[in-house]
Amino acid sequence: MSRKTWPLLALLVLTAQPLYAAEEGGGPLDINVGLIIWTFLIFGIVLAVLAKFAWPNILGAVERREAHIRELLEGAERDRAEAATLAEENRRLMEDTRAKVQDALNDARAQNERVRADALAESRRQQDEMMERARRDIAAERAAALESVRHEAVDLSIAAAERLVRRTLDSEDNRRLVREYLGQVSPRATAGV
């Protein structure tokens, strides 16, 4: 027998005796050396089998899960940074749009004021033209009325002179005489009017 088999054989002998002792009525607090050795031996075998076959798979799965979680966290961080960038760009675009709308409103107000001022100026110009036309019309009417009054005065003067003089002059001569007289009287009369 070799040296490797002696410890096994000793272990077997030592563990076999406590089994017989347990049949003889050992108590629950009795120490059973054979049972302890077999428990350690089985634990070592199970530990070796787990270390050889199960733990690499378990550790691989845990490492893959950690890597996946790390990737998810990095992806979430990238998404958060991208969302922040997009939110900033959106805010900037909103501010630009708001500024453009404000500029458009200001331009519209200024154009409205220009149109209003132009319309007011045009209205005043038309009003001034109408006033000037009315003044010319009034002056023309006044001149026509004065001319009519002069003709009436000439006719009345001729009739009065004819009655006074009782002689009949030709009507063209009469008119010429009255016009001369009225021409002399007219600058004084219009100065008083």
Question: For position 100, what pLDDT does the model report?
Answer: 93
* Rounded percentage of the chain residues whose pLDDT exceeds 70: 75
Lowest mean pLDDT segment, chosen from 15-24, 35-44, 180-189: 15-24
d(CA 3, CA 86): 76
Long-range contacts of 154-157, Cβ-Cβ distance < 8 Å, separation of 24 or more: 154/178, 154/179, 154/182, 157/181, 157/182
State the pLDDT confidence band at 13, using cuts at 50, 70 and 90.
low
**Is 60 exceeded by the pLDDT of residue 98?**
yes
Distant-in-sequence, close-in-space partners of 160: CB < 8 Å, separation ≥ 6? none
Find the range with the poorest average confidence among 54-58, 95-99, 170-174, 189-193. 189-193
**pLDDT tier at 191, thresholds 50, 70, 90:** low
Please state the rounded mean pLDDT for residues 33-58: 90
Condensed to tens digits (0 to 9), the pLDDT of residues 119-146 reads 999 999 999 999 999 999 998 988 888 8
